[in-house]
Amino acid sequence: MKPEPKFKPIHPEGAHYDHDCDACTFLGTWRGDAKHGAGIHDHDLYYCGGRWPTVIARCSSEGSDYMSGIVFRTHNPAIEEGCKRAEALGLNLKRGD
């Protein structure tokens, strides 16, 4: 069973953009500039567990328009926010080799 997100999304219906993975946990929406100068955008944040857990920041419904990778948390504010939210929910961010 997926944990319920405790972060209130900007959009009352939940995620702002389409996301095609039912295994992901929605972490809420974050508003900011994660593309270094591309302007302020809404980013739907997700956690995807498994052997190689990751955090995803989706910025449109276009399938390829997302960023992911816990290793980028220090370089990308949206990924950093997603990691913080996942950790606050007790979700595992460590790789399970």
Query: Is residue 5 situated within a structural domain?
Result: no
Query: Is residue 6 situated within a structural domain?
Result: no
Question: What whole-number percentage of the chain has pLDDT above 70?
Answer: 78
Pairwise pLDDT comparison (13 vs 56), residue with the higher score: 56
| C-alpha 44: how far from chain center | 6
Query: Is residue 80 situated within a structural domain?
Result: yes
Record the tokens describing residue 88, joined without a space.
Answer: 């606050």
Number of domains in the chain: 1
Query: Is residue 34 situated within a structural domain?
Result: yes
**In Å, how far are 11, 44, 52, 72 from 8, measured between CA atoms?**
8, 12, 26, 24
- Give the residue from 24, 12, 11, 21 showing the smallest Cα distance to 86: 24
**pLDDT one-digit tens code per residue, 71-85:** 988 888 999 999 999
Containing domain of residue 40, as a range? 25-88
